[in-house]
Chain A
Amino acid sequence: MNRRVLHIARNTFREAVRDRVLYNLIAFALLMSGAAILVGQISIDIERLVVINLGLTAVSLFGVVIAIFIGIGLVSKEIDRRTLYTILTRPVRRWEFITGKFFGLAGTLLVNTLCMAVGVFAALLYVSHRFQRADGWVLVALYFIVLQFLIITALALLFSAFSTPLMSAVFAFALFVVGCFSEDLRGFAAMAHGAEKWLATAAAYVIPNFSALNVITSVAHGQPVSGQLVLYNTIYALIYVLMALSGAVLIFERRNLK
């Protein structure tokens, strides 16, 4: 990979770590251990279910909040504080900056998610005393969650390339919520008529598809995830990231840094 992209990514990761982003892991650890102990008091059947549901949901929400707030801060903070001036006046291209920021944040989220995954599995081990074959599907669910983070990060970058931090956060969060219901949205679109149908369909296809990336419930019930879905979701997420980043580059390339 381009070396400057790598340097920017590394510095972004360093920024996140030094800004104590990873402290959220403490809250997560407390949540998981509390849940594991409490649920242990209930019944055998449901405890795995609760640990997986709660664990994966927490991983997802913590990560989404981090992705949005840091993702937004990345570019707009650099513009606000004018730290960008001394970067872009070096032999760094604007697209390299955007790409580097993306990889830096993606790396941060990946490390964060890995730590959380260890926590989830530790809690699972605590409640059921041994790992089961079905626990493998939890890994797939975690993988899908990471794919979600990648999409959100790219979107946060896209918004912060042209909007204020607050508006960017609002946009990104709204898209996340709407994206969770994107399959329903395509359902709505299919039921509409005329011009509305075209508009709704277009919107429904542009909105990120988080529905298919959320398999927490079925995984908690030990249901397998088809290999084809893993493949399609992976390609979809990568393509979506590429789309959002291309948009961010297109906008940022033209932006006046006042």
Chain B
Amino acid sequence: MPAIEILGLEKTYHVGFWRKQAKRALHPLQLTVAEGEIFGFLGPNGAGKTTTIKMLMGLVFPSGGTARVLGGSISDPAVRAQVGFLPEQPYFYDYLTARELLEYYGQLSGIPGQERRQKVKAMLERVGLGEAGNVQLRKFSKGMLQRVGIAQAILHDPKIVIFDEPMSGLDPMGRREVRDLIEQLKQEGKTVFFSTHILSDAEALCDRVAILHQGQLRGVGAVAELTANVQGKIELIWSGTTAPAALKAISAELHVSGDTVRAVLAEDRQESALDILKQSGLRLISLTPVRSSLEDYFVSQVGPDKISAGAGS
């Protein structure tokens, strides 16, 4: 049984004063997340990632389609008890201390008293807030709040963890910690589904990723599978201060630095590039294939125009 099945979920918002104008936030989406995998949900800001996650969590009602979580419906409290959720830029009751907040969430998740106190204590230690447990959240920094957010999402030992932009707004150390934590969750056998617009995080962590752009799915699969189909590139370096016009025309990038020139071009242009160099009498210093990254794939799908372009909320 897959952990999450998204079966044609779609969402159209009606905007404007009279709600006449329809705005498509998500086109019908098909996606399956297997149990025990780390699944990255990628896309530029406004691609529809958060809308999808909110529909998945039952916060927003879809215009069409359905989703199944652990084979059931998210409207079933028993299913929700098996899911942990971290919203984007979480904000918590700032009049509570971290311990009180986790206690409260533990109560709502139905964890019995003695077990709850132990879990809260252990969880505070785990996310590095052991010292700050009795401090009101209004005194917390953004990074500390993110830790609280993660703590509340995994407090009740859920089978599935859904994180919406867990790394955003964190410093490099914080991002590293979150990455380690996601790895740990996988070790514990949990399914992790998280959205991000930071590709390196996804590339380093995910078993599989899906790419969403302007409310449409642009690709889904393992990182290696996706990048395999991207056309490879080569890097040429020769000595000289200029590039022949013919070479300029086929290069994607061209840099002159001191007495060497560096050009990046598509793999299938390699032969013609070498011919041009030979004819021009220029001396080749090196030729190296460039490994294609998730970013290359992403750009090939989303377009290089801009990673933050697009519509939606």
A and B touch in the complex (CB under 8 A): yes
Q: A11 to B97, alpha carbons, bound, how many Å?
A: 12
The chain B residue sitting closest to A100, CB to CB, is B108
Q: Please judge, given known A-B contacts A7-B107, A91-B110, A257-B59, whether A86 and B95 are in contact too, CB under 8 Å.
A: no
Q: Which of B58, B61, B95 contacts A15 (CB 8 A)?
A: B95
Q: Is B285 an interface residue (CB 8 A)?
A: no
Cα distance A7–B112 when bound, in Å? 13
Pairwise interchain contact A82-B90, C-beta atoms closer than 8 A: yes
**Which residues from B are CB-within-8-Å of A257?**
54, 59-60
A1 to chain B, nearest CB (A): 14
Q: Which of B60, B81, B93 contacts A11 (CB 8 A)?
A: B93
B77 neighbours in A (Cβ, 8 Å) = 91-93
Given contacts A91-B78, A258-B313, contact A86 B109 (CB under 8 A): no
Are B59 and A86 in contact, with the CB atoms below 8 A? no
Q: How far is the CA of A257 from the CA of B92 in the complex (A)?
A: 16
1/0 per residue B40-64: CB within 8 Å of A? Answer: 0000000000000010011111000
Could you give, for residues 59-89 of chain A, a 1 whenever the CB lies within 8 Å of some chain B CB and a 0 otherwise?
0000000000000000000000111011111
- Please pick, from B54, B80, B91, B105, the residue contacting A81 in the complex, using a CB distance under 8 A: B91
Closest chain-A Cβ to B67's Cβ sits at a distance in Å of: 14
In the assembled complex, B146 has its CB within 8 A of some CB on chain A: no
Q: In whole Å, how far is A130's beta carbon from the nearest beta carbon of chain B?
A: 43
- The residues in A between 240 and 255 inclusive whose CB is less than 8 angstroms from any CB of B are 254
Q: Confirm or deny: A19 has a beta carbon within 8 angstroms of a beta carbon on chain B.
A: yes
* B223 within 8 Å of A (CB atoms): no
Query: By the criterion CB–CB under 8 Å, are A85 and B60 in contact?
Result: no
Closest to B162 in A: A89
**Does B87 lie at the interface of the complex (its beta carbon under 8 Å from any beta carbon of A)?**
yes
Tell me which residues across on chain A come within 8 A of B91, comparing CB atoms.
Answer: 81-83
Nearest opposing residue in chain A for B110, CB measure: A91
Give the total of B residues in contact with A, Cβ under 8 Å. Answer: 31
- Provide the bound-state CA to CA distance between A225 and B54, in Å: 53
Q: Is A197 at the interface (CB under 8 A from chain B)?
A: no
Q: Is A129 an interface position by the 8 A CB rule?
A: no
Count chain A residues whose beta carbon lies closer than 8 angstroms to a beta carbon of B.
Answer: 25
Q: Which of A3-23 contact B (CB under 8 A)?
A: 3-4, 7-8, 11, 14-15, 18-19
Interface membership of B191, Cβ < 8 A: no
A85–B85 alpha-carbon span in the complex (Å): 8
Q: Does B152 contact A (CB under 8 A)?
A: yes
- A90 pairs with B60, CB closer than 8 A: no
| A93 to B108 alpha-carbon distance, docked (Å) | 10
Q: Which of A3, A18, A86, A87 has the most CB of B within 10 A?
A: A86
> CA separation between A8 and B60, bound complex, in Å?
22
Q: Please report the C-alpha to C-alpha distance between residue A120 and residue B233 in the assembled complex, in whole angstroms.
A: 85
Smallest CB separation, A91 vs chain B (Å): 4
* Residues of A181-225 contacting chain B, CB below 8 A: none
82-119 of chain B: CB within 8 A of chain A: 83, 85, 87, 89-93, 95-96, 104-105, 107-110
Instruction: For the complex formed, measure the closest distance between the CB of A141 and the CB atoms of chain B, giving whole angstroms.
Output: 34
Residues of B within 8 A of A226 (CB): none
- Complex formed: what's the CA distance from A7 to B80 in Å? 18
Report the minimum CB–CB distance from A9 to chain B (whole Å).
12
Say whether A132 faces chain B, with CB atoms less than 8 Å apart. Answer: no
Complex formed: what's the CA distance from A248 to B27 in Å?
31
Query: How distant is A224 from chain B, measured CB to nearest CB, in Å?
Result: 44
Identify A89's interface contact among B59, B92, B104, CB under 8 A.
B59
Q: What is the 8 Å Cβ interface bit string for chain A, positions 136-157, against chain B (1 contact, 0 not)?
A: 0000000000000000000000
Whether A90 pairs with B58 at a CB distance below 8 angstroms is no
Contact indicator A89/B60 (Cβ below 8 Å): no
Interface status of A256 (Cβ within 8 A of chain B): yes
Chain A residues, Cβ within 8 Å of B107: 3-4, 7
Contacting residues, chain B, for A82 (C-beta < 8 A): 87, 89-91
Judge whether A86 and B61 touch: CB under 8 Å. no
Please report the C-alpha to C-alpha distance between residue A83 and residue B60 in the assembled complex, in whole angstroms: 15
Min CB distance B59 to A, Å, is 4
- Of all chain A residues, the one with the shortest Cβ separation from B11 is A256
Residue pair B57, A89 in contact (C-beta under 8 Å) = yes
Residue of B with least CB distance to A17 = B95
A59 to B229, CA, bound (A): 74
Q: Say yes or no: B108 contacts A90, CB within 8 Å.
A: yes
Interface residue ranges of B138-156 to A (CB < 8 Å):
149, 152-153, 156
- Other than the given A91-B80, A92-B108, A254-B61, 6 more pairs (CB < 8 A) read A82-B90, A83-B91, A83-B92, A85-B90, A91-B110, A257-B60
A-B contact pairs, 23 of them (CB 8 A): A4-B110, A7-B104, A11-B93, A14-B96, A15-B93, A15-B95, A19-B95, A81-B91, A82-B89, A82-B90, A82-B91, A85-B57, A88-B58, A89-B80, A89-B83, A90-B81, A90-B109, A90-B156, A91-B81, A254-B61, A256-B59, A256-B60, A258-B60
- Which 9 pairs, one residue from A and one from B, show the smallest C-beta to C-beta distance? A91-B77, A18-B95, A89-B85, A85-B87, A257-B59, A7-B107, A91-B81, A256-B60, A90-B108
